[in-house]
Amino acid sequence: MPSAYSIDSILGKAERKLSAIPDDVEIMRNSPSVIMCPQTSGCMSVQSPSKDSNDRSPGASRNGENYFDSSPEKSENEEKHEHSHEDLNTSLSDGENEESGNAGNKPRKLRRSRTTFTTFQLHQLERAFEKTQYPDVFTREELALRLDLSEARVQVWFQNRRAKWRKREKTLGRESPSFMQREGGLGLPDMPPSHLGYQSPLEAYWSNRMTNLPGLNPLLSMPHGSAMLGNMAQYFNKVSSAGLFPNYFQSTAPGSSFPGIPHMYMRTGLSDISAIAQAQAAAALSSQLVGRFQVSEPEQGLDFRRHLTKIQQVTLDQEVAQRPGGGAKTSRLRGSCDVFFSNEIGHRIEASTIKHTNMPPKGVPAKAKPAPVKPKAVRPKAKDGDDMTDVDGADHDDWVNTKALVKPDDQLELTEQELKEEFTRILTANNPHAPQNIVRYSFKERQYKQTSSVDQLAIHFALDGNMIHKESDEAQRQRTKLGIPDAHVEPAVSEVGEPVSAAADSEDRGDEAKEEAGDDAGTQAASGSEGGGNKKLTNQFNYSERASQTYNNPYRERGTATEPPPRAVFSGNVTQWEIFDAYQEDFEKQEKNKEKKVIPGRKEEEKARKRLTVTETSGDDVSRIAKAAKIVERMVNQNSYDDIAQDFKYWEDPSDEYRDNEGTLLPLWRFSFEKAKKLAVTSLCWNPKYTDLFAASFGSYDFMKQGNGMMLFYSLKNPSFPETIYETDSGVMCLDVHPEHPYMVAVGFYDGSVGVYNIEKKDGHLHRCTAKNGKHTDPVWQVRWQKDDLENNHNFFSISSDGRIVHWTILKNELTYQDVIKLAMPDSAAEGPDGTKITTIGCGTAFDFHKKNDYLFVVGTEEGKIHTCSKAYSSQFLDSMDAHNMAVYKVRWNPYHPDIYITCSADWTVKIWERGNKSASDKSDAMDASAKKPLFTFDLNNSVGDVAWAPYSSTVFAAVTADGKLFCYDLSVNKYEPLCEQMVAQKKKTKLTHLEFNPEHPIVIVGDERGTVTSCKLSPNLRKQPKEKKGAQAVDPSVREQAEIAKLDKILLMVRDPTENKG
């Protein structure tokens, strides 16, 4: 804020102008009193200071001698400013200028001719005026440019126009001029109503000042409004003005009653804010002096009087109460108040209301006016050159005498005459020094022309600012002068009595106003700095910095690396020969491929065969079509072995009719399996249910050539390949198919173990005993199923060389065993007397159960003995005899006759025994066992491997011998010679090991030691049925059985009789 034009200073000045505080008359005298000529607005009258104080008013216009006739001599001293106010000149040129000019002592030096506006110009200006009454400097300049006028002319025109308009407004009866709409934001919106028709002195002042400082119009640039001012008042209430401008010395004008304190002149409406401020301020009123003014202004505005009416401390209420009274007195009481705030030293705020009332026009101004119509002449009222407040004292007595007027003590008492004395001194804005005869060459008109408009600026009034910057040289000087070391640490100057001293100072040193101002400013600054400059010291002992810093999170790197794609290294060398070789190689390959493609035509057959074999052997793929394959296979076999099948079914040897006692065997299919070729057939067993199916076990009888074993199931329908194949780790020495469950097969192994197979299952293996659960210690020579026991558990017997006969029972999942009998040598006891009782154990090789009596069975041993045993007696034989000289290979009961059984042995013989004989032998106990004789004995000239009764006749049996022959006997036909003696084995040296009659068909299968099973068809002579019973064949089997038994008995009788006869 420029010091010279701060609002503060402006207001202060204004305040000083309008509300000189009546108390301090002396001070007031010092202050320049400005009286403005409101009507002409451009005209400013500055009341010259009184004689004794005129030289002390620094703010007074230095050109005062031009305008103040009353004090020309003083103005000379102050001629410092050379500025001239041309504007004022023009504004006064409306007629009164002459007068005012005449009124002045000095003749006017230059005078500008009156401007004549053209119609067009006027029109334009009027239009502009319609838009705005207060055009800003730019608008004016633009207007001036357009109308070919100087900006100053335009401005003046506007001023005049406004005045004219205002006047007309008034004559139209309006109470207040409305041109200053609040929204205008121009000038001083709240003109005191008393100024009707006149421009505010301030406005005039500023409008004048403005020309002095183009572009800078503090008032114009400042937003106005009473409320605003009220706010400011409030604000200034709170904040000491010194605090507001801490950087400035503030010096009040010398006339101020409170030097060092800016006075604020606030003009407010009756806004609430200001009212409150007033109320507050009033309530806080101290005993300080408060000027309460009632300023009456003449209607014509010729004079501007101030009457000190009373000095009084008032509260707002009082004020309000008083107002009606005052209003009653005055012709027009305006509601607007001027609030005068003064910031006291003690930070008190004084609020005083200044009532502006329009006083009825007094005679004095009227008289003083030379031209009554236009109140342009300004006459200073101060009669004695004293303060203007004194001047109107008498006038005011009239209307305020009801109230107790308090006059300053030193108020001049003026006589009536003195009061009436007129000082006609006209204040004009013409700069007397401005040359009026300037001639310039106009290029436009090509001639010298007198410039009509010379920018004359006459400064009527100038006031330097109260404040100087601390940093400025002046302030520095003042400070040093005052002995203040530094602005910041300035000690507080005792402020009580400051105003007095300041006042005294101002009185004493009159002419050095600036210095005084500086002094005041200095003190002010001191107080200000004291008020607001104290820096709070931090507590050094318990001090914490308020500011805090948030914790910075540590940065963290986070990243993931994907696995790079796998890489590989490759290297090579490229040379021409390598390329060539590569091509060569590839070419050869291609050639080979071509060959292969050609050849397949020839090799197709082979491949087809291979495929066949492949399909045959490959497991899983074929298993899906196993059934179909089997059917196809059988069909193929049926075709290929069709002749055999035909023979099997229909061939009856026709030669049999011509030879009664001879029969033949027709070899049919030969069953041979590749893997079993090196094994001997150890046992054969027809399947009780499927008469075309038989099982053959393979092992080795040679002690030195033991190896794996095999179990094959053949069907007559497919002689080329076994139906089922089971390979075992040990040689299979015997097997037996369960008579009622044809899928159950009991197996005895060479290693002494027994097992059970289920041929329905793929694996087949169900149980196998181990050393832990009763395994034989020598080869198992025979196993035989028994009827299910009482608990329906399958069970079978086995016989082994270790002399044990074991009863095996299948309990759910396990095989349990029970020793039935141990084949102790019966004659061991006889050897006992030597003292060495060694129980030798017989080696069982064969056994057979009685067809009718389950408990009864016969056992043949390696020693050639035959024991008749019962399950009931485990330690004792029912009977025992030396049947053969060598090992008994087979024992079989006659299927029909209950007491007849047949044995065969390695001693080349086959013997038929009768159990009933026993009793006879019992009778001759003394006779040795050898005395027991068989019913029949047949010598076959070789070791007899097996012997079997024919299922269809009680008198027919067959035997195989080691020289490959099969002997077939029919006792009913020939008791001594076989009906048939035929080589069955392909080679003579091939031993036949076993044979088995088919229970239904007239065939017999014969196994040899080379793994081959041969089937032979018995010729009709070998299977003769009793002729006499031909017709009764359909009779039930029991009858037939009886017949068979009778037939055998009849033969036996012939045999027995001689023996019995012998006996």
**Residue 580 in the binding site for other proteins (CB under 8 A):** yes
Q: Token pair of 542, please?
A: 């318990």
Tokens at residue 895, please?
């299927």
Nearer to other proteins among residue 488 and residue 602 (C-beta): 602
Q: Which of 500, 504, 582, 631 binds other proteins (CB under 8 A)?
A: 582
Neighbours of 621 (CB within 10 A): 9
Query: Beta partners for 824?
Result: 841
- Find the binder of other proteins among 571, 613, 639, 770 (CB under 8 A): 571
* Least CB distance to other proteins at residue 968 (A): 58
* Shortest Cβ 591–other proteins spacing (Å): 7
CB-wise, 120 or 587, nearer to other proteins?
587
Q: Which is nearer to other proteins, 564 or 1037 (CB)?
A: 564
Report CA 853 to chain centroid distance, whole Å.
Answer: 90
The single residue among 575, 617, 639, 770 that binds other proteins, judged by CB under 8 A, is 575
Per CB under 8 A, the segment of 12-20, 278-286, 298-306, 574-582 that binds other proteins is 574-582
Q: Are residues 906 and 887 in contact, defined by beta-carbon separation less than 8 angstroms? A: yes
Return the residue matching tokens 């004359």.
456
Distance (Å, whole) CA 645 – CA 819: 46
In the complex, minimum distance from the CB of residue 609 to other proteins, in angstroms, rounded to a whole number: 20
Segment lying near other proteins (by CB under 8 A), choices 337-345, 561-569, 651-659, 810-818: 561-569
Q: How many CA atoms lie within 13 A of 322 on its CB side?
A: 21
Measured from the CB atom, the residue of 120 and 583 that comes closer to other proteins is 583
567, 624, 627, 988: which one contacts other proteins (CB under 8 A)?
567
Nearer to other proteins, 483 or 566 (CB): 566
In 3-state terms, what secondary structure has residue 806? strand
Nearest approach in angstroms of CB 580 to other proteins is 8
Q: Which lies closer to other proteins via its Cβ, residue 562 or residue 792? A: 562
- Decide whether 335 or 600 has the Cβ nearer to other proteins: 600
Number of residues counted as binding other proteins (CB under 8 A): 22
Write down the least CB distance from residue 582 to other proteins, Å. Answer: 6
Q: Provide the sign of the torsion angle of the four alpha carbons 579, 584, 587, 588, taken in this order.
A: negative
Query: Is there binding between residue 601 and other proteins (CB under 8 A)?
Result: no
Three-state DSSP state, 80? coil
CA-nearest of 795, 803, 757, 755 to 778 is 803
Judged by CB under 8 A, does residue 606 bind other proteins? no
Q: How far is the CB of 562 from other proteins (least distance, A)?
A: 13
Report how far apart, in Å, the C-alpha atoms of 488 and of each of 241, 515, 530, 985 are: 17, 21, 8, 148
Of the two residues 582 and 631, which places its CB atom closer to other proteins in the complex? 582
Nearer Cβ to other proteins (138/583): 583
Residue numbers 31-60 binding other proteins by CB under 8 A: none
Nearer of residues 586 and 657 to other proteins, judged by Cβ = 586
Task: Using the minimum distance from each CB to other proteins, give the nearer residue, 508 or 585.
Answer: 585
We find the least distance from the C-beta atom of residue 610 to other proteins, in angstroms, to be 21
Q: Which of residues 339-378 bind other proteins (CB under 8 A)?
A: none
For 569, other C-beta atoms within 10 Å of its C-beta total: 4
3-class SS of residue 688? coil
User: What is the arrangement of strands in the sheet containing 844-849, beginning at the earlier edge strand?
Assistant: 844-849, 856-861, 865-870, 879-882
CA–CA separation, 574 and 576 (whole Å): 7
User: What's the min distance (Å) between Cβ of 586 and other proteins?
Assistant: 5
Compute the least distance from the CB of residue 578 to other proteins, in Å.
8
583 near other proteins, judged by CB under 8 A: yes
Residue selected from 557, 595, 674, 729 as contacting other proteins according to rule CB under 8 A: 595
Considering only residues 598, 830, 926, 1034, which one is a binding residue for other proteins as defined by CB under 8 A?
598
Residue 276 CB partners (closer than 8 Å, separation 6+):
234
> To the nearest whole angstrom, how small is the minimum distance from the Cβ of residue 611 to other proteins?
24
Rounded least distance, CB 605 to other proteins, Å: 16
Cβ atoms 169, 178 nearer than 8 A: yes
Beta strands in 850-895 (DSSP E): 856-861, 865-870, 879-882, 888-893
589 binds other proteins (CB under 8 A): no
Considering the rule CB under 8 A, would residue 579 count as an interface residue with other proteins? yes
Q: Does 574 bind other proteins (CB under 8 A)?
A: yes
Round to whole Å and give the CA distance between 289 and 282: 12
- The residues with which 947 forms a beta bridge, in sequence order, are 959
Q: Max alpha carbon distance in the chain (Å)?
A: 218
Q: Which is nearer to other proteins, 585 or 740 (CB)?
A: 585
**483, 565, 601, 1031: residue in contact with other proteins (rule CB under 8 A):** 565
DSSP per position, 194-236: GGTTS--HHHHHHHHHHHHSTT--HHHHS---HHHHHHHHHHH
Q: How far apart are CA 45 and CA 205, in angstroms?
A: 9
772 binds other proteins (CB under 8 A): no
Distance (Å, whole) CA 388 – CA 736: 163
Angle between helices 626-640 and 642-650 (to 10 degrees): 70
Asked if residue 573 binds other proteins (CB under 8 A), the reply is yes
Tokens representing 890?
A: 């087979």
Q: Is residue 587 part of the contact set for other proteins (CB under 8 A)?
A: yes
The piece of 33-41, 414-422, 540-548, 586-594 that touches other proteins (CB under 8 A) is 586-594
DSSP 566: P
Nearest to other proteins of 173, 601 (CB atom) = 601
Q: Which of 559, 572, 1031, 1058 binds other proteins (CB under 8 A)?
A: 572
- Which of 537, 547, 561, 569 touches other proteins by CB under 8 A? 569
Is residue 586 close enough to count as binding other proteins by CB under 8 A?
A: yes
> Shortest approach of other proteins to residue 560 CB, angstroms?
19
Binding range to other proteins, per CB under 8 A, among 123-131, 261-269, 325-333, 576-584: 576-584
CB of 572 to other proteins, least distance (A): 6
Task: Mark the segment that binds other proteins (CB under 8 A) among 428-436, 569-577, 632-640, 659-667.
Answer: 569-577
Lookup result for tokens 């910075």: 552
Tokens found for residue 700: 């080795």
* C-alpha radius of gyration, the chain, whole number: 82
* Nearer residue to other proteins within complex by CB, 561 or 569: 569
Question: Should residue 555 be labelled a site residue for other proteins when binding is judged by CB under 8 A?
Answer: no
Residue 1013's SS3 state is strand
At 713, the amino acid letter reads: F
Q: Is 561 in the site for other proteins (CB under 8 A)?
A: no
604 touching other proteins, by CB under 8 A: no
Q: Is residue 255 classed exposed, middle or buried when 0-12, 13-18 and 19+ CB atoms within 10 A define those classes? A: buried
User: Rounded CA gap, 389 and 396, in Å?
Assistant: 10
Counting contacts by CB under 8 A, is residue 570 touching other proteins?
yes
Instruction: Give me the least distance between CB of 598 and other proteins, in Å please.
Output: 7
The two structure tokens encoding residue 254 = 């010398």
Residue of 412, 317, 426 whose CA lies nearest to 64: 426
Q: Tell me the three state secondary structure of residue 810.
A: strand
Name residue 697's amino acid: S
Strands annotated E in 192-306: 248-249, 263-268, 291-296
Which residues form the interface with other proteins (CB under 8 A)?
Answer: 565-576, 579-580, 582-584, 586-587, 591, 595, 598
